[in-house]
Structure 1
Amino acid sequence: MGERESEQFEAVLQYLKEARGFDFTGYKRTSLARRVRRRMGQVGVADFPDYVDLLQVSSDEFDALFNTILINVTGFFRDPDAWAYLAEEVVPALLAERGPEDPVRVWSAGCASGQEAYSLAMLLADALGPDRFRQRVKIYATDVDEEALAQARQASYAAAEVEGVDEDRLHRYFEQQGQRHVFRKDLRRSVIFGRNDLVQDAPISRIDLLVCRNTLMYFNAETQSMVLNRFHFALAPRGLLFLGKAEMLLSHSRIFDPVDLKRRVFRRTPGNAAGLGGIGAQPVPVERVGEVGGLGELREHAFSASPVAQVVVTGEDIVALVNQQAEALFGLSPRDIGKPLRDLEVSYRPVELRGYVEQAKVDRRAIRIKDVQWTRAPGDPVWFEIHVNPLVHTDNGLLGVTIVFHDVTAARKLLDDLEHANRQLESAYEELQSTNEELETTNEELQSTVEELETTNEELQSTNEELETMNEELQSTNDELQAINDTLRERSAELDEVNDFMAAILSSVQAGIVVVDADLRVLVWNRGIEDLWGLRQDEAVGAHLLNLDIGLPVGELRSAVRTALSGEVEGGTLRIEAINRRGRGTTVRVVVSPLRAPAGGTNGAIIVMEAVGEG
């Protein structure tokens, strides 16, 4: 890029930092510019100022650009040989160095969509068992990409994404949900996801194993150095760093020692080069320009006035020098000079010194004793860091040993306060994570309830449609019934007309007419028969013919009626002597005919009576 184009590109990076808080200034410019140009080509923008304008008007473009820059290439157990070494050598050694109840803190920096963090969880669960894993292990998984972190928290992966997991682990650590595999929820609670920018944000502290694979290679040398110093601060003593194949740390050997260079596993050194070098080295002869008088007295006063408590013993462990701070702190006096160190209380309190003194003399190297606590009644406890340094002559002859007591109480208190604050922060973070998971669960339940309500609504809609259909059918049936009813009403009217017509005919006929059914019960009793016998219609209809109390000897009709009912003949004509309604004797001509049914057969008989003369 030219100078002008380079300035325009830096303006893009500055805008990203101000607008979204992403600081890409530590990334390698060539690869970073190549990825930004790739995104510009996808949206059809030619130069950097126009792309800044696009970012200002389109918030979605930020996410697309970050996804292009932050290439989240990851997978379960990526580089199987390195992960196998981690499982077989590194993790067992790490656990062996700690007590059975000690917590294990792991940091997956640049975790992307979570496969690396869950790979670590499976390794540690294999080594400890699920129950001990839940009790002891905390895995902090961080990234700058919020979208990738959201996917990681879901812990849901397609079949192609879990190809690196063997069948046994897939069965033990994942649950099948449709076409996806979801990491076990009880173990997932030990994996804490959060946003962390390795360049800007403070590192997590007291980490036993820090995994940052193929992330440093995107930074320039200066940013790499800064991030590695933060990693050194984050790791606990003897903490381990696991990098990717593209990262070597050859220029940072002063703060990390290689454990296995091929697999990119390194161990944190106890301190930096400036803090550890030169303590036990042989002094370099210095050419003096001139002599200074009174050096012996000057050295004696300088040693005595030193603000740090010091005791010097000879090669035979005889106390040679004690300064004022040591006298005040441990109750020593000039009378103790010349005594063997073993005869003084300071030799075993606050710590057993004689073994360290002997080791310093034999090894000809400095020894540092950390975290030494001493309680001086009735005051508060005091913390020391004791340095035991051999005093070696130019010909490597041993002159003696100096014992320096550094009071680190204030620093220790600060560390304790920091540790307490970190624990509180961790607890708050875990509570926040738990609350977030509960909210996610509640959201899922609400979503499920909404879906159920939608299903119920659809079912009610379907039921309503069915009821409308049934209502239409009922309405149609009602219309049909109404039509039938109208037809019946018309037929009834017609029948009434027929009945009235028949009644008129029966009333108009002068002869008496009786119609009986097959059981000889009277069906018709016309006006002519009423006049003949004096018995009203309502008294006769329904009665048995043979039970009628009239002047006609009805018993004589039985044979003729039976014959008509049989249908064998048309009945017959009889002349019967009877008594009419006036009490006079009369001769009655009786004609009996069968009542034919439309379909054939006989339903009853028709009896016609007519008076033919009075006696």
Structure 2
Amino acid sequence: MTPSDPPFEALLVYLKEERGFDFTGYKRSSLMRRVSRRMSQLSISDYAEYLDFLQVHPDEFTALFNTILINVTGFFRDAEAWEYLRHELVEPLLAAKSNAEPVRIWSAGCASGEEAYTLAIMLAEMLGTEQFRQRVKIYATDVDEEGLTHARHATYTEREVANVPAPLLERYFEAQGGRFVFRKDLRRSVIFGRNDLVQDAPISRIDLLVCRNTLMYFNAETQARIVARFHFALSEGGILFLGKAEMLLSHATLFQPVDLKRRIFRKVPRPLQTNDSIFAEVPHAPTRSEPGAIDQLRGEAFLSSPVAQIVVTSDGLVALTNRQAEALFGVSSRDVGRPFRDLDMSYRPVELRRFIDQAQVERRGTRVGDVEYFRAPGELVHLDVHINPLVATDMSLLGVALIFHDVTASRRLHDELEQANRQLETAYEELQSTNEELETTNEELQSTVEELETTNEELQSTNEELETMNEELHSTNDELQNINEQLRERTSELDTANAFLEAILSSLQAGVAVINRDLHVQIWNRRAEDLWGLRREETIGQHFLNLDIGLPTDQLRPLIRSALNDGVQPAELRLEAVNRRGRTVYVRVACMPLADADGAAGVIMLMEPEHDGGVPVPVP
């Protein structure tokens, strides 16, 4: 492959025309190396084949641009150079300004934003955050939209902020989810935007321009154009900060070195060029003697015109271009003297050559309206082009002036007006429909009012019925109160009976246990508690035969069954037992049926220990 490989040049032309990326000014060796690297990832070995691949797969543009535009940056890269820049140049620059004067900085080729935020930190440290927000504007530009998106988010990994000193990291970054986010209140002073150094107009009135390790990717001719733009962008005495791999030894008329080791330069004041272009290093048109004040005024007026203008001589050569034309179409002083037909703009976005010929023949102006021009990917500009012949006093043709009016805003307003009219018509139709619906709704409301009046009458009737029912409920409530009083009287009587029964059971000298047919304990008197050591709440509801007492309950099972099933007379046993004190005594146990209307409902069990002089008789 040679640097003039036609298939490769065709690929670059395709990228420029389809996506607005002009790589023709890049060094061919490094550019071809990067494109080849991407092609090898796709197993494509031929540039023509890769061009076909791009035409079929539009998504491949992003991968290719990411490969070509290598974004190598970092916070405080070459820290010693930043320190020198701050103390030796920026501090005097700020000292020379009043407290109200703005400070404008341009970070060209900002990549993912680390360099721009480094500038913000440096200025905030020097001015204080309040002065920084009021005075400083940092314009950070790049051609890589993906990198600009990353920069706008201002979110970086721990590795990416490793070079930021700990105190600065704490003051200017917030930790969020393992990443570090630059302070939002200061981020508003950093403005990110797309700017192609080769094609787009430079930002003006800049005090400090930082463009590190970007120029080295361009060839000498393109570098000269970019350096001239940088010279225009900087204010008088402005500072240019380049990377280690870049020098400006061949541009001594534009910049003088402040510190070659650290690649810091200062702008050299430069008079206007005689061919009326501020970006011309090597003029194509013949020079003339130093212009007078009027000529300078005319030249500056033409250059500063708010509309793009290009003047073509009668023999078809480019004679003049102004700054707006350069910003819009990328033409510059280097194109002065070239045949107009050789420029891309002669046929794109509209074929201008035939209109120029028509204006020269007919000696009258022509207007070409509503021309759509994609200035950059996704940026559509609408133009009105006026082609006016320039005729001398003797009616001889001097040339043709091409004037490009940007009518994007008016076109947008016109479209918005049409859309508003359509919306208004739709809204009017909807209003008429709504009016008809409201009339229908009004009729329905009148019908509803009549229904509500009928319902009101029905409710009044229902209210009268409810009043009658309320009186009946009052009467029923009185009856319930009487019944409740009777129940309270019965409950009182029952409580008295229970207290009487409890007194009887407590007075008995024998232990008493009442069990139901399922042998669950229902009554357990105090004497039984004293005898066996189990409290009433420990026995009530328990199976009698499962009670852990000193009485041999297995021997009582037949006696209990007999009382439940067929015993009418009390049955009695004399048993050997162990009382609650652990002493063995003799106990007489008597079981008698507890009868109800259906037969034996349970068993009354009397447990009386034998006494000898008032003491239970122990077993010998």
Q: What is the TM-score normalised by the length of structure 1?
A: 0.47
Q: What is the TM-score normalised by the length of structure 2?
A: 0.47
